[in-house]
Chains A and B, each alone.
Chain A
Amino acid sequence: MDPLVLVSIRNLVKRFDITGGWLDQFRFSGGKISKERTVVRAVNGVSIDVAQGETVSVVGESGCGKSTLARTVMGLYPAEEGEVYYKNTRIDNLSEAQRQPFRARMQMVFQDPYASLNPRMTLGEILREPIRFHQPKLDKGAVAEKVALVMEQVGIDPDWHTRYPHELSGGQRQRISIARALTVEPEFIVADEPIAALDVSIQAQILNLMMDLQEQNNLTYLFISHDLSVVEHISKRVAVMYLGSMCELAQAEELFQRPRHPYTQALLSAIPKLGKAASHEKLTGDVPSPINLPPGCVFHTRCRHANDRCRLEIPQLLTVEGGTQVACHGVEEGRL
């Protein structure tokens, strides 16, 4: 493996069985009883190599599988297929105990700073907990020092360690969530919509903080967001997902200047731009359900370039000029 790759996601597949009770799986049709399970195919064979120190963003519409991908990479959901490597170690199949050292190196920051902080704990307690867990031998003074250090790093006065989350604003709470991730000195942070719940004026504060911390602590980010102008700004590379599949992966600049996949093109043209009249490409039709994935290209039901091959055959990722990876028959056939 490329020594610069920190986290390697290989053909990851995650399904959710939502059949319900055991009786719900039986169907009666044509005079016969059959068994049928209802499965949400949330992530279907996604591969991304995240290099040390870079920010890779994952974008796509609601329900396309961004959070599921993040949680599966973090080991919060078991994968059905595929592998996740941390440096050279395969980590998706490890036992709880074997996984322990990796839990400190990989941390996650969530969208909702209200839900992710325990309201009954003071900020100090919230920040001490992961340190105690991962470094039980550290003495009290060293723990306190570390808590003060991370609070300072995220711009919260360490004297506030006796306060409770409800005394903080949304932006301050998100700072504490980030501080909590930093306490265990991670190398890799997965941030799932970390600014979506915040106001514009506060979003800039948190993004600046994340960029500063990345530089100071040499952090690697997997950043999930639906705000494409933010993504354009902070990412080195961007992965575009649609219905559980990755349709394009490219350098941020390349993607925003020369989107190749028809879905990426539609998505980018829909971003509202300050002061410019809307001139977006209209998509028709609804997003199909991940329970009944369409055959062939998952995007063909809304794609104006779809042909018969698109309706039958799943397009594979193909590397085109500029290093962009794109899964589209139209691009491969040179008609796009």
Chain B
Amino acid sequence: MDKLLTINNLNVDFTLRSTTLRAVNNVSLSVNKSERLGIVGESGAGKSVLGFSIINLISKPGRIASGTVMLQGEEISSYTYEQMRQIRGNRISMIFQDPMMTLNPVLTIGEQMRETINAHASMSAADVDAICLEKLRKVYIPSPEKRLDQYPHEFSGGMRQRIIIAISLLTNPSLIIADEPTTALDVTIQAEIMDLLLELCETEHMGLILITHDLAVVSQVTQRIAVMYAGSIVEQGATEQLITNPQHPYTKGLLGALPQRASRDGRLNQIPGVMPGLAKIPEGCSFRNRCSLAADICLTQPVLEEKTSGSQVACHMVK
């Protein structure tokens, strides 16, 4: 199949005064053309750092220590800042949790959209406006002609996120990285935005990396899921397979902790303990101090490999 993005053995470090912390640990991933991949995991697992590393936006004290990122066969991880700028917002777009992080509050929506197009192409003003209107229609903003001259604060949270999506479509990217795009929104609005992303990925043939902590949301939108824990991918597989037949004890724990999976007497299944901070990740398997299956062999680091279920799992105890 056509590979859109391939990440090989990526390591991202934060160098602090006294120590170096590894936030992304030996991650390998790929996204096929028009494929939707979900990255799930709890807070601090390294999802955002991974997302930013793909477009080389990790800033000090963080840096990519080793590994490569390939976009359609080009090794973009070795690109200069200038080369990378042409990739970002052009072939890869990124959507964040807070739309106001991307939108400039003192510019109208139209000004911001035109600016984005003009940074990547030269066109007549009329053509630029036509594209802006077309994209706003795609994200179902009613009467976009009137909306172009309005400021971000004149829109609701859900509409702002739609506008961000419209902006990210302007350059016809082949990949969108969406980092918790609906976490700040209400369920009814969240459902609309997710529908929209899904629809656009299909009609525009875009790949999607959806970063979220919400298993239910990824399970509805993506075809494949990677589960991150303490900087590493512990399980990766086809969405249905992973949801219905999780293999890694952590994935099992996460799914089992959902209220729908509570036991008869009403108790929820909890994973004991908490995910350790980067400075305290145990040696060997990073999950072993919370894992009920942990044995001596877990003192050595398990590799992510294909198991009998068909998913890739990093666990010594899974066959």
User: Hey, which chain B residues are within 8 Å of A270, CB to CB?
Assistant: 187-188, 190-191
Across the interface, do B42 and A204 meet the contact criterion of CB distance under 8 Å?
A: no
- Shortest beta-carbon distance, B43 to chain A, in Å? 5
Q: How far is the CA of A277 from the CA of B195 in the complex (A)?
A: 10
- Judged by a CB distance under 8 angstroms, whether A207 is at the interface is yes
Q: How far is the CA of A271 from the CA of B188 in the complex (A)?
A: 8
A276 to chain B: which residues have CB within 8 Å?
Answer: 219-220
Residues of B within 8 A of A171 (CB): 274
Distance in Å from the Cβ of B270 to the closest Cβ of chain A?
Answer: 4
Decide yes or no: A272 and B42 within 8 Å by CB, A204-B269, A204-B271, A228-B187 being known contacts.
Answer: no
- For residues 263 through 286 of chain B, which have their beta carbon under 8 Å from a beta carbon of chain A? 266-271, 274-275
B254 at the binding interface (Cβ < 8 Å): yes
Q: Is A275 an interface residue (CB 8 A)?
A: yes
In the complex, B308 has a CB within 8 A of chain A: no
Point out the residues of chain A lying under 8 angstroms from B190, CB to CB: 270, 272
B268 touches A207 (CB 8 A): yes
Mark the stretch among A39-47, A83-91, A141-149, A229-237 that contacts chain B: A229-237
Q: Does A169 contact B (CB under 8 A)?
A: yes
Counting CB contacts under 8 A, is B200 at the interface? Answer: no
B262/A203 in contact, CB under 8 A: no
Q: Which of A226-254 contact B (CB under 8 A)?
A: 226, 228-230, 232-234
What separation, in Å, do the CA atoms of A267 and B213 have in the docked complex?
A: 21
Which single member of A169, A200, A266, A272 contacts B194 (CB below 8 Å)?
Answer: A272
Question: Which residues of A have CB within 8 Å of B156?
Answer: 286-287
Contact, CB under 8 Å: A230 / B220: no
Q: Are A229 and B186 in contact (CB under 8 A)?
A: no
Complex CA gap A229/B270 in Å reads 16
Residues of A within 8 A of B258 (CB): 200, 229, 274
Does B306 have its Cβ within 8 Å of any Cβ on chain A? no
Q: Indicate which residue in A229, A232, A273 contacts B220 across the interface (CB closer than 8 Å).
A: A273
Partner pick for A211 among B191, B253, B266, CB 8 A cutoff:
B266
Q: Is there contact, CB below 8 Å, between A273 and B267?
A: no
Chain B residues with CB under 8 Å of A230's CB are: 259
Q: Does A258 contact B (CB under 8 A)?
A: no
Rounded to whole angstroms, the CA-CA distance of A100 and B183 in the bound complex is 39
Give the interface size class of chain B: 35 or more
Contacts of A277 in B (CB 8 A): 220
Taken together as a complex, chains A and B put the C-alpha atoms of A201 and B260 apart, in Å, by 14
Which has the most chain B C-beta neighbours within 10 Å: A172, A199, A201, A278? A201
Identify the closest chain B residue to A233 (Cβ). B259
Q: Which residues of B contact A205 (CB under 8 A)?
A: 270
Residue A61 at the B interface, CB < 8 A?
A: yes
A204 to B195 Cα, complex, angstroms: 28
Complex Cα spacing A199 to B159, Å? 27
Q: How many angstroms between the C-alpha atoms of A283 and B191 in the bound complex? A: 10
**Residue of B with least CB distance to A207:** B268
Knowing A201-B254, A207-B268, A267-B188, say if A274 contacts B219 (CB, 8 Å). yes
Q: Please determine whether A267 and B187 come into contact, CB atoms closer than 8 angstroms.
A: yes
Q: Looking at the complex, which one of B187, B243, B253 makes contact with A274 (CB distance below 8 Å)?
A: B243
Beyond the given A226-B187, A272-B220, could you list 19 further A-B residue pairs with CB under 8 A, ordered by the A residue number? A61-B186, A61-B187, A200-B42, A200-B258, A201-B253, A201-B271, A203-B257, A211-B267, A234-B266, A272-B187, A272-B217, A272-B219, A273-B220, A274-B215, A275-B239, A275-B243, A278-B195, A282-B192, A283-B188
8 nearest A-B residue pairs (beta carbon)? A233-B259, A199-B42, A272-B216, A204-B268, A204-B257, A204-B270, A270-B191, A61-B186
- Residue ranges of A at the interface with B (Cβ–Cβ < 8 Å): 61-62, 169-172, 199-205, 207-208, 211, 226, 228-230, 232-234, 266-267, 270-278, 280, 282-283, 286-287
23 A-B pairs with CB atoms under 8 Å apart are: A169-B274, A199-B275, A200-B213, A201-B257, A201-B275, A202-B274, A204-B271, A226-B186, A230-B259, A233-B266, A267-B187, A267-B188, A270-B188, A270-B191, A271-B216, A272-B194, A272-B214, A272-B217, A272-B219, A274-B215, A274-B255, A275-B244, A286-B156
